[in-house]
Structure 1
Amino acid sequence: MSAFIRNQYSNSRVKAAGKRFRDGNASPEDSIVLDNWRAAHSYVLNTFQATLRNRARGTNVTVAQRLKRRPTIIDKLRREPSMQLNTMHDMAGCRLIFENIDQLIRFREKMTWSRFRHKPKSFFYLYHDTEHPMIKTMERVDKYNYIENPKSSGYRGIHDVYEYNVNSVGGKAWNGLHVEIQYRTVFQHAWATAVEVADLVTTNRIKFSEGDRPHERFFQLSSELISRVYESCYGPLPQIPFDDVVKEFNDIEHSIGLLHTLKRLRTSERSDVFRKNTLLIFYTSDDEIANTLEIETFDSISEAINRYGELEKNLSDVADVVLVRSDSEASVRLAYRNYFSDTVEFVRYIENALSRTEAELPYIGKLAK
C-alpha cells in the first residue's frame, strides 16, 4: 500500500490547474497538482489490472496497463476545450487484446456483469415492457462502442470507463477516480498501432483527425479493408462496395506510398531482461537519437514510478516515456508495438486484403451485442 500515492487536492483545485495548463499559464504549483493527481491513479490502475489478469488467466488475451503521459494530458486539455482535468476518464488505462470479436464480446460481457461495486460510467441499461406485465427486456446502451459505431477516422474497439468505489478502509482514499478499459482485437490493434507509427514518421496527427486528407483517407480505407476481410463486419465506410475500397486505396497508396514506408520500417529487435514493470523511452525530437527506443525495467512498481517521474521531467521535450506493466516481454511488444515501430502485421493484413475481391469475402452480418 505504501508504494501508492494518494490525491492531496480537491476536485476544484485539480480543475483549476487543468484550466491553467489549457490556457498556457500553469504555475509550478499547478505542475505539482497535476503530477499528484495522475500518480494517485496508479493504485486504481493496479487494482483493475489485477482483476483483468485474473479473468484472463488461462486464455490468450493480452493485458497491459499505462498511466496517461503528462504531455498527452496537457495536449488533450488543449484539443478539447470542454475537457476538465478532474473528470478526464482515461488518466489510468488498461488494454486487452483478443484474437477475435467473439472472444472480446464474451470477455466484456462477463466483466460488465461483475458484482464489484465500481460504477460503470460508459454504459447503462434500458428496460422495455413486454406482453407479460411481470417481464421486461433489458438493453445495454454503450457510449464508446467503436466496433458497432466506428469513428470517422477508422478507429475500432470498445472503451469502458469505471469509477473506483470500495468500502474497504485501505481503498476508500481512491474512491471517485476513473479507469478506462480498452478492448481491441489483434486486427484493430494492428490498425491503431499503424496510425501511431505513421504519425511519428510523417509528422501527421491522424490519431486525432488532424492529418492531411490523403493520410486520413488511407487509414479510413485500411480500416474498412480489415473490418470486412478479417472480422466479417463493416468499418467506417459501409456504403462503399469492397472493390471500390480496394481501388481507392491503391490510388492513394500510389500517391503517398505510406504502406511502402511502413513496410520498410525496421522493427526494433532489442531485448532486455524482462521484469513486470517496464519503462519505454522513445526519443522523438533529438536529432542524434530520434526514433530510437530505450528500455528500463524494474522489480518493484514504486521504483518504476519514481524513475518515471524523473524521466518525464528531464525528457518531456524530446521523448515519450511510458510506464507499462505486462506479464511477459511478448505482451509488452504486442500491447505497445508502436514504440517498437512494429507494423508488420498491419502491412500483412492490408496486402492480403488487397488481393481479395467482393465475391471472396465472408458473409457480413449484424454484430452480436
Structure 2
Amino acid sequence: MSGTRISKTKVGKAGKALTSPLSSSQERTDALAIVNYWREIHAEALQRALGDIEGLGSVGSDVLVAGRIKKLSTIVDKLERPSTPSDLQTMYDIAGCRLVVPDMRALDRVYDGLSALAAFDLAKTSRHDYISHPRSSGYRGKHVILRYDDLECGHRLFVEVQLRTELQHAWATAVEMHDVAVKTRLKFNEIDNPAGRFFRKAALLIAQIEQRGEVDTRAIRSLSEGRLELSAAVGAVDALEAACDAVCLLSDDLSGCASDYYLVDFVAEEQTLELTRLDSMDALATYFEAEGADNDGGRDLVLTRGASYERLAKLYPNYFGDISNFVGLVKRHLDAFA
C-alpha cells in the first residue's frame, strides 16, 4: 500500500475505525492497513529529520540521537484517551527523534540549533516547552516540531523531537520502567497515587539541581500537601532495582553503526530483551510483522534508527536495566521525600 497515496481524511477515518467497538473484523483489518501505511510513509520524514539534526554544528558527540516510528499500541492508546482526544491524521509524533544532552546549557544550545532549521515549526513547537511549563506528572523537557512539505509521499508530515537532559531522561525512563514493573500508568498522567506523587517530587528535585544547583527539601515536601511519601520512594526504588536486576539480554549480533535500524523486543513478564539489527529495506516490514504476532500484548516493540548499540543502551535504559543514576540520586536525597 506504500505506493498508493491515501488521503488524510481516510487516515483519520481509519484511526476511528481501529478504535471503535462497533467496527467489524474486516473494517479493523482494512483500518490497520491504512494506519500502517501512515506509519510507513513517516519513515521518509524521520530520515529527513535525522539528516537535519546530524548536520547541526550544535549536535556534537555529547548528544545522543535516535529516531523511532510510534508503536501501534501507543497510537491506539492515544486515540482512546478520553481526556486528550486525538485524531490520527493530526498526530504530530508518529515519527519522533530523541536527543539526550548532558545538561541545561547543552539543551539550550541544541534547541537554538533546531530552531534555525528550515523545517522548524514555531507555532507548534511553542506549545511544547515542558521545562517552563512541566506536565502535571512532573515531566520536563523541550519538544520541537519539524515540518516537511516536500516529501515523495505527497503529504505534509511532522516529526517530534524530544530534547532532554540526562537527568530528565533518567526520570522519564524510570517512570516507564515503573509502569512496566508495577503495572501503573504514570506515563499517561494517571498520577493521583503515592507513586505518582513520588515521581512528581523526584522531577522537582532534578529541576532544582539542574537550574539552581541546590535542593530545597521544603518545596519538594510541599507538593504532597502534608502526605509523607518516604515509603512510596523506597518502594519505587526497590521495584526499579528488582526490574533492572532481572533483565536478560538475548542478542548476539550487536556490532552496528549509527545508520542501522534496531528492533528492540522487550518481554516484561520474562524480563528478556532481544535486539535485532535490520537494514532499511526490511526494517518496517519486520517491525509490523512482529507487532502482528504479539497476540497478547506482552512484547514491548520499538523500531529505532540512528544509534549504535552503545548509544541505544543510553537512550533506552529502561530496556537495558540500567537507571542507576536515577536510583542513586533518589537514595542520596531520601530526606526530601520524608
Q: Same-fold call, TM > 0.5?
A: yes
Q: Is the 8 A contact 1:65 1:95 kept in 2?
A: yes
Equivalent in 59, 64, 74 of residue 72 of structure 1: 74
Match for residue 16 of structure 2? 19
Match for residue 311 of structure 1? 290
Q: Is the 8 A contact 2:130 2:139 kept in 1?
A: yes
Range with bigger deviation, 213-222 or 322-331: 322-331
Displacement of 1:69 = 0.4
Match for residue 142 of structure 2? 158
Provide the C-alpha distance between the structure 2 equivalents of 1:120 and 1:174, rounded to a whole number of angstroms.
22
AA in 2 matched with 1:72: T
Match for residue 216 of structure 1? 196
Give the gaps of 5 or more residues in structure 1: 124-141, 358-369
AA in 2 matched with 1:307: T
Provide the C-alpha distance between the structure 2 equivalents of 1:218 and 1:254, rounded to a whole number of angstroms.
9
AA in 2 matched with 1:62: L
Match for residue 50 of structure 2? 49
Match for residue 241 of structure 1? 218
Displacement of 1:121 = 4.4
Distance 1:7 1:155, change over 3 A: farther
Q: Is the 8 A contact 2:5 2:153 kept in 1?
A: no
* SS state at 2:161 partner: strand
Match for residue 109 of structure 2? 106
Distance 1:99 1:226, change over 3 A: same
Distance 1:57 1:103, change over 3 A: closer
* SS state at 1:152 partner: coil
AA in 2 matched with 1:347: V
Match for residue 61 of structure 1? 63
Displacement of 1:351 = 1.9
Displacement of 1:290 = 2.8
AA in 2 matched with 1:79: R
Distance 1:349 1:18, change over 3 A: same
Q: Is the 8 A contact 1:154 1:223 kept in 2?
A: yes
Displacement of 1:341 = 2.8
User: Any idea what the Cα deviations from partners look like across 1:312-356, whole Å, max 9, x if unmatched?
Assistant: 110152212110113321210111111223221110122223468
Matched, 1:230 2:232: no
Displacement of 1:163 = 2.0
User: Any idea what the Cα deviations from partners look like across 1:181-212, whole Å, max 9, x if unmatched?
Assistant: 11000000000000000000110100111245
AA in 1 matched with 2:291: E
Displacement of 1:21 = 2.1
Match for residue 156 of structure 2? 176
Equivalent in 239, 244, 255 of residue 261 of structure 1: 239
Displacement of 1:156 = 0.2
Q: Is the 8 A contact 2:205 2:220 kept in 1?
A: no
Provide the C-alpha distance between the structure 1 equivalents of 2:226 and 2:152, rounded to a whole number of angstroms.
52
User: Any idea what the Cα deviations from partners look like across 1:30-77, whole Å, max 9, x if unmatched?
Assistant: 111111011110010011012212326543100011100011101100
How high is the sequence identity, in percent, across the aligned residues?
A: 30
AA in 2 matched with 1:346: F
* SS state at 1:187 partner: helix
Matched, 1:122 2:124: yes
Displacement of 1:109 = 1.0
**What's the RMSD between the two structures over aligned residues?**
2.9
Q: Is the 8 A contact 1:5 1:43 kept in 2?
A: no
Match for residue 263 of structure 2? 279
Match for residue 100 of structure 2? 97
* SS state at 1:66 partner: strand
Equivalent in 332, 342, 347 of residue 312 of structure 2: 332
AA in 2 matched with 1:59: S
Distance 1:73 1:246, change over 3 A: closer
Q: Is the 8 A contact 1:227 1:234 kept in 2?
A: no
* SS state at 1:179 partner: strand
Provide the C-alpha distance between the structure 2 equivalents of 1:249 and 1:350, rounded to a whole number of angstroms.
20
Provide the C-alpha distance between the structure 1 equivalents of 2:267 and 2:209, rounded to a whole number of angstroms.
35
Q: Is the 8 A contact 2:41 2:153 kept in 1?
A: no
Larger Rg: 1
Displacement of 1:23 = 1.8
Q: Is the 8 A contact 1:226 1:353 kept in 2?
A: no
AA in 2 matched with 1:49: L
Q: Is the 8 A contact 2:244 2:323 kept in 1?
A: no
